[in-house]
Chains A and B, each alone.
Chain A
Amino acid sequence: MPRLPDGQLTFAAGHLLAATSYGPSPLWYTARATGVVALILLTIAVALGVAGTARLSTDLLPAIVRSGLHRNVSLLAVAFIAVHVLSSVLDPYAGIKLTSAVVPFSSDYRPFWLSLGAIAFDMLLALILTSLLRSRLPYRVWRAVHWSGYACWPVALWHGLGTGTDSRLSWLLLLEGGCAMVVAGAVAWRLNLAAEDPVRRSLVRAAGLAGMAAFALATVVFVALGPLQPGWARRAGTPASMLGSAHPAPAGTPGQTGASR
């Protein structure tokens, strides 16, 4: 391995130090980035889980590899959520407490939207714990808890859309839309495997598709009328003291910080 001269090492170390110490709170951006990556990982975990239910097995992705990946990706999502929570808690700006990560409605900062994140995190923890203890639990219990995974994903999405101060970024909206399409496709696939009886299957499929369409419509309307509109920070429940401490400015007007938008 080639060694860098000391001068270059010092230069690189200086750049690294500058990158980590300079700028508007690296913790704030870490929280955002890890949250988005956790949503992507959850999407992959959902898709792999549905593929497992369908007993998909190919040469490239044998069943054992698929199930191992499903487990590892889910655990990785939890790890990213842990970093997301820790960076949010360590950043003193919003004053989010560690308990707010698991106890809904215990935060002053955007209480409802932060609570959605806490609920999704609780669901995911229950999913992971019951899966790790699967051999010691009745199958029905594990299965019932595992079904909550389908609720966990949309709750996490709405948490990101409502709490995230970055919901106006077009590439982020596209990314979230792509994740939504992957999950919708996986759920539609899962609905096809729902029941043996054709009549019951078509009923379940119709109900599931109607539910998905309603959720998609509600999400689009919510994004259009909520985060994309000026003044969302105030409506989302950001404390007034954070909307402009020195010279308060109306929410959604020029001059706001990224956190208060």
Chain B
Amino acid sequence: MREYVSSASRRRDARLGRIRKLSLWITGGAAAASLGMGTAFAHAIPGHTTTTGASGRAASTGGTATGGSTAGGSAAGNTTGNAGAATQHDSARKTGTRHRHKLAPPASAPAAAPSSPARATPGPSAPAAPVVSSGGS
């Protein structure tokens, strides 16, 4: 009788252990799927913080990922519009460090620096500065 109870108890423990194991696998799989899908959505859909414009191609494709587009490519495709509409959320984060987006050309030329004896700026006729090919990132 004791052996029978022990065997039943062992079997029950094994089954409870299997429930735990399968549940952990499902939980892990769900978490991994969630991460993967979040990444896939981030690649496929511009999201509401991107600055969009007339040239925002990924947005115009209806959210489908363009062939061979990377995260940077997709985001850059949405952010190159100069006259695009920035959402409210975006404006709050625009000052952040979003270095991978292409910068729009300035609307106007920079103002001429005041000439002073201490800091003489080279004029238009001055020779151009030598091109430095190293030291940048």
Point out residues on A near B: beta carbons under 8 Å: 21-26, 28-30, 32-34, 36-37, 40-41, 44, 62, 64-65, 68-69, 72-73, 76, 80, 92-93, 165-166, 168-171, 242, 244-249, 253-261
A-B contact pairs, 28 of them (CB 8 A): A22-B97, A23-B49, A24-B46, A28-B49, A29-B42, A32-B41, A33-B37, A34-B34, A40-B30, A40-B33, A62-B15, A68-B16, A69-B22, A72-B23, A73-B23, A93-B48, A93-B49, A165-B45, A245-B87, A247-B85, A249-B85, A255-B54, A255-B81, A255-B84, A257-B52, A258-B47, A258-B59, A259-B48
Per the bound structure, the CA–CA distance linking A157 and B44 in Å amounts to 21
The reply to whether A244 and B34 form a contact with Cβ atoms under 8 Å apart is: no
Q: In the assembled complex, how far is the CB of residue B15 from the closest CB belonging to chain A, in whole angstroms?
A: 5
Per the bound structure, the CA–CA distance linking A76 and B18 in Å amounts to 17
Q: Give the dominant DSSP class at B's interface.
A: helix
Per the bound structure, the CA–CA distance linking A168 and B42 in Å amounts to 14
The reply to whether B59 and A256 form a contact with Cβ atoms under 8 Å apart is: yes
Given contacts A29-B41, A37-B33, A168-B64, contact A261 B86 (CB under 8 A): no
Using Cβ atoms and an 8 Å threshold, which residues of chain B touch A28? 47-49
The reply to whether A170 and B42 form a contact with Cβ atoms under 8 Å apart is: no
Per the bound structure, the CA–CA distance linking A166 and B41 in Å amounts to 8
**Which of A32, A69, A261 meets B62, CB within 8 Å?**
A261
Point out residues on B near A: beta carbons under 8 Å: 12, 15-16, 18-19, 22-23, 26-27, 30, 33-42, 44-50, 52-54, 56-57, 59-60, 62-64, 71, 75, 81, 83-89, 96-98
Looking across the interface, which residue of chain A has its beta carbon closest to that of B23?
Answer: A72
Number of A-B contacts (CB under 8 A): 157
Given contacts A65-B18, A245-B87, A258-B46, contact A80 B30 (CB under 8 A): yes
The reply to whether A68 and B47 form a contact with Cβ atoms under 8 Å apart is: no
Given contacts A24-B42, A33-B38, A246-B86, contact A166 B59 (CB under 8 A): no
Per the bound structure, the CA–CA distance linking A253 and B54 in Å amounts to 9
The reply to whether B56 and A254 form a contact with Cβ atoms under 8 Å apart is: yes
